[in-house]
Structure formats: C-alpha cells, structure tokens
Amino acid sequence: MRLTVIGTGYLGAVHAACMAEIGHEVLGVDVDAEKIAALGEGRVPIYEPGLQEIVGRTVTSGRLRFTTSLSEAAEFGDVHFVCVNTPQRPDAPACDLRAVDAVVDGLAPRLRRRCLIVGKSTVPAGTTARLAARVQELAPAGADVEVAWNPEFLREGYAVRDTLRPERLVVGVMSQRADQILREVYAPMLSDGVPYISTDPATAELVKGAANSFLATKISFINAMAEVCDAAGADVTTLADALGYDSRIGRRFLSAGLGFGGGCLPKDIRAFAARAGELGVGCAVSFLDEIDEINSRQRRRTVDIARDMLGGGFAGHRVAVLGATFKPDSDDVRDSPALAVAGAIHREGADVRLHDPEGIDNARAVLPQLEYVHDVEKACAGAGLVLHLTDWAEYRRIDPAALAVVTPARKILDARNALDASLWRSAGWTLRALGRPTPPAVPGQQATVGQRASAGRGCAPGQRHLPADRTA
Ligand code: UDX
C-alpha cells in the first residue's frame, strides 16, 4: 500500500521505517526541512536502537522516501498516518492539538482521491469525530476521505520492536471500509497473531490515555510504598518482588525510584484528567492529580536526601550526576526527572558535572549552565557525592573499587535502586537509595529509618509538575 506518515519525530520516524520494512511504499512528511534532508539520506537524527539500520535499508531500497510537501503526500497516499506531537499546553495541564489541527487543515483541502486519514498521536476523546467533520468541510473528495484513530503504545528504546511486534493493535473506526484498510496495513502483524481490537474512535482514543494512567499509577504506587518503607526501615525492592509474584499484580512498572518522566506519561495523564473534567467526570480521575504529585515528590525527596548526604547544603560541593535522559536507551530529556534534579541542585549551589551516554547534547540545550562530561570517571573525579539518576546498563557495570580511587568521598545516592548496594558498600562507599534501609555505620546498631524525616522535609506540598526545562 502507499502510506504517508506526517510528522517524523520519535513516533513518526519509527512508524514510517517499520511500515516500509513490512513492505509498504512510504512517504515521510515533516515541516522540518533539515530533518527531512537527513532522513532522505538515510540518517536518523534520534537515538533509537535498531532504527538506523531499518531506515538505511528501506531508503536504499526506495520504499521509504521523505518530503516537506503536503501536496505530494495528498497525491501519493492511500492512507495518511498523523504522527505529530501533542504536547502539554503552555497555559494549562491539557493537550495542545495545534499540530494535529494544522496537519488536517493543510492536508484535507488537497485530498482529491479516496483515502483514509489515521491519527496515531495521543489525543483527547472526541478528537476523531471533530476532525472527521472538519475533513468533510475541507476535502474536495468529500465522503471518500475518512478519519480513524490508531493509538501508538511504543516505548522509547524499544520503539522498533514495539512497532514490528506490538502487544496489541487498537483501531477506532467509523466504517467497515476503514477497518478493512487498517487490517491490510497491518496484515503481517495480524498473521503473526497480534491481537487486533477494532472499536469506535472514542474508545480507541481513551485506551491510550487509560493505559498511560494505569502505568503512571503503578509507578507512583510503588514510589508511595518506598516512602512508607523509608519511614518503617523496610526495603521497597523486596516488597516489589513479593508483590510482583502475585500474577494479578505483576512485577513490571513496580521499580521504585526517581519516578516517571518523558514526552508521554506526565503530559498524557494531565491531558486525560483535563478532558475528563471537560466531560463533567473530573472527579472520576481526580486520583491522577495525586499520582502526579507523588511523582513530583520523588524529585524533591532525591534532592533532600542528597543535601542531607552532603551535610545540609550543596554550596561549595562538587556533585557528579550520572544520567540526564528520562530513561535508559534513549536520548530524550523531555520532562526528565534526572535533569530536573540536576537543575535543582545546581540552583542550590552545587558544582554539577553531568554524564549521560546519549543525552548530553539534548541536556545541554535545556540546561547549558551545567558542566557536561563524556566519561564517568571524569564526571566523578573529586565529587563529594555521586547521584545515580538514570538506569543505564553502563552504570550498573561501574567497578566501585576503581571509581573510589578518583572519588575519595565515596558517597552515592542510587535514585533508581539499580546498583548492587552490597558491592558498593563493600568497596567502602556510603550508598543510600529511595525506599531501602541504610545499614548502620557501626555493625550491630539499628539501620537508618525515616530518611524523609532525617532529610528535614515531611509531606508538605511542594511545587507540582516541575519539568526539567522549568528548573533552569
Ligand atoms: C510510555 C508508555 O510505556 C508507552 O506505552 C506510551 O505509548 C508512551 O509512554 P515511554 O515514555 O517510552 O513510554 O517510557 P516508559 O518505558 O513507559 O517509562 C516511563 C517512565 O517511567 C520512565 O521515566 C521510566 O524511568 C519510569 N519508570 C518505568 C519507573 O520509574 N519505574 C518503572 O517501574 C517503570
């Protein structure tokens, strides 16, 4: 089939490449001429494992091409996938649909042939119906142009795998014809047995928001338990393992730590709650405000514990920060908890040296005032404290004995509960974590309890929704 993919960011670039990989003729479209030029030469401007290979292969074969022209796209496509971003509005915790609306307003007047517009971006319930009416007003082909929604669930870092072998496909359609077209698009996945849920557009739109709300709830639940563990002297990692063996609960998304960030979960749960409010059922999802607040609190808790480890203040201390991206295997620093913490301690006077395997360029664009270092040892040299803030595999492999040579203070806060605590401690490090007891300095004494209290802050409400780019 001839597909266009409009918007070639994390979602669109991966979708375009994977659709070409399964045999379709694909035209990627973007307003960013520089990005289109790079992609057209087979160069991928983002870090996403496996993507470069597929783009290289499909561009060389001619099945994947790129353009900035919506007119060319309108002439070319049987199906137009809309993959532009739907960020949080600058003035409210709701979804900014301007990019989606601009695509429809630009594309529809050029549509003179039978085709299907399929939205993949995350949008509030009711968007497909609104856009379908708009398309009918604008498209010369009239009723021959339909609109459907097909939410995307891919995770950054696993985007190629999640697109080629999704756990499910969800389509919200208004006709059998639209359903049939989408079955053809995804035929290789369907023949592999991927579950295919065909429903109305409102349900499809809600599935995405509900899924992200559930995942965020799971993470904030375990982070709330980590706070209770700190107060009780218990271990949240063992607690999560024990909970996870219950097949009704499951262990995934129960890793306590600095909390969730990125371009999706935080803004999606806010947009979901905002839309529920508009629909008159805000109270049904008011718990999402608490989920968001628990998440923001982990950033403040991390800063508080770090300050405590430095004896009460950051001024005059060198702090090594390991990790800038919102999660490993990504170069994405949007609403990154790690970068928010780095920015906050820098504002409190810390001399921050930040390392990240892939995210330094993006981090520097948000927080140019920090010092960026491409080598872990150099980042940690002479640091009074090391903060482990993003769970890159590279950091798990650090030899604590070797690092201690350049970091005589030997203090580390593992805000991702990912390091081997006993290994670090046996190399002489003072290691603290979120929701895990700190063993006594003198054997035989009681383990440290009440990290929150010892850090001097209780449950007082703090600043909510503090993304990294607002901490500068
Ligand atoms: C997420 C959803 O998983 C995906 O389905 C949706 O389409 C887009 O949003 P992504 O943003 O790539 O994908 O990140 P994800 O892997 O879900 O992680 C989100 C955040 O939660 C990260 O900051 C991660 O570090 C954090 N996290 C995840 C935890 O803190 N604990 C966990 O147990 C799991």
Q: With 60 as the cut, is the pLDDT of residue 457 above it? A: no
Last residue of a domain, one of 199, 233, 251: 199
Q: What is the pLDDT of residue 472?
A: 31
Decide if 92 is inside a domain: yes
> What does residue 372 show for φ and ψ, rounded to 5 degrees?
-110, 135
CB-ligand 1 contact for 218 (6 Å cutoff): no
CB-ligand 1 contact for 151 (6 Å cutoff): no
Q: What is the pLDDT of residue 331?
A: 93
Nearest atom (ligand 1) to Cα of 252: 33
Average pLDDT, the chain: 94
Between the CA of 427 and the centroid of ligand 1 the distance, in Å, is 32
* Cα→Cα distances 323→6, 125, 182, 195, 371, Å: 32, 35, 40, 36, 13
For residue 96, the domain's CATH number is: 3.40.50.720
Which of 45-49, 61-65, 191-195, 366-370 shows the lowest mean pLDDT across its residues?
Answer: 45-49
Which among 122, 105, 13, 47 is positioned nearest to 325, based on CA atoms?
47
Q: With 50 as the cut, is the pLDDT of residue 463 above it? A: no
Decide if 207 is inside a domain: no
- For the residues 273-295, what does the mean pLDDT come to? 98
CB-ligand 1 contact for 264 (6 Å cutoff): yes
- For the residues 353-368, what does the mean pLDDT come to? 97
Q: What is the pLDDT of residue 446?
A: 60
Q: Whose CA is nearest to atom 23 of ligand 1?
A: 260
Q: With 50 as the cut, is the pLDDT of residue 19 above it? A: yes
Q: With 60 as the cut, is the pLDDT of residue 133 above it? A: yes
Q: What is the pLDDT of residue 343?
A: 98
Between the CA of 215 and the centroid of ligand 1 the distance, in Å, is 8
Residues 177 and 321 in one domain: no
Between the CA of 413 and the centroid of ligand 1 the distance, in Å, is 22
Distance CA(4)–CA(16), nearest Å, equals 8
Q: Which residues are catalytic?
A: 264
Decide if 208 is inside a domain: no
Q: What is the pLDDT of residue 374?
A: 97
Per the structure, the count of domains in the chain is 2
| Domain region containing 178 | 2-199
Rounded to two decimals, the pTM is 0.93
Distance CA(321)–CA(339), nearest Å, equals 9
Residues 188 and 261 in one domain: no
Decide if 353 is inside a domain: yes
Last residue of a domain, one of 199, 225, 243: 199
348 and 315 Cβ atoms separated by less than 8 Å: yes
Decide if 432 is inside a domain: yes
pLDDT band at 449 (very low <50, low <70, confident <90, very high): low
Which of 84-98, 268-282, 423-437, 438-452 shows the lowest mean pLDDT across its residues?
Answer: 438-452
Distance CA(144)–CA(52), nearest Å, equals 36
Nearest atom (ligand 1) to Cα of 259: 30
Mutate to test the pocket of ligand 1, among 123, 153, 155 (most ligand atoms within 8 A of CB): 155
Residues 138 and 238 in one domain: no
- DSSP assignment of 71-92: HHHHHH-SEEEE-----B-TTS
Residues 245 and 192 in one domain: no
Residue 160 corresponds to which tokens in the numbers above?
């190629």
Distance CA(48)–CA(121), nearest Å, equals 19
Distance CA(399)–CA(394), nearest Å, equals 10
Decide if 426 is inside a domain: yes
Q: Whose CA is nearest to atom 25 of ligand 1?
A: 327
Q: With 50 as the cut, is the pLDDT of residue 466 above it? A: no
Q: Whose CA is nearest to atom 31 of ligand 1?
A: 255
CB-ligand 1 contact for 8 (6 Å cutoff): no
**Amino acid at site 350:** A
Between the CA of 373 and the centroid of ligand 1 the distance, in Å, is 26
pLDDT band at 460 (very low <50, low <70, confident <90, very high): low
Percent of the chain with pLDDT over 90: 92
Between the CA of 456 and the centroid of ligand 1 the distance, in Å, is 30
Distance CA(160)–CA(147), nearest Å, equals 25
pLDDT in tens, 419-431: 999 999 999 999 9
Q: What is the pLDDT of residue 45?
A: 87
Between the CA of 418 and the centroid of ligand 1 the distance, in Å, is 16
pLDDT in tens, 1-18: 999 999 999 999 999 999
Residue whose tokens read 């592999």: 192
Q: With 90 as the cut, is the pLDDT of residue 86 above it? A: yes
CB-ligand 1 contact for 158 (6 Å cutoff): no
228 and 192 Cβ atoms separated by less than 8 Å: no
Q: Whose CA is nearest to atom 10 of ligand 1?
A: 155
CB-ligand 1 contact for 10 (6 Å cutoff): no
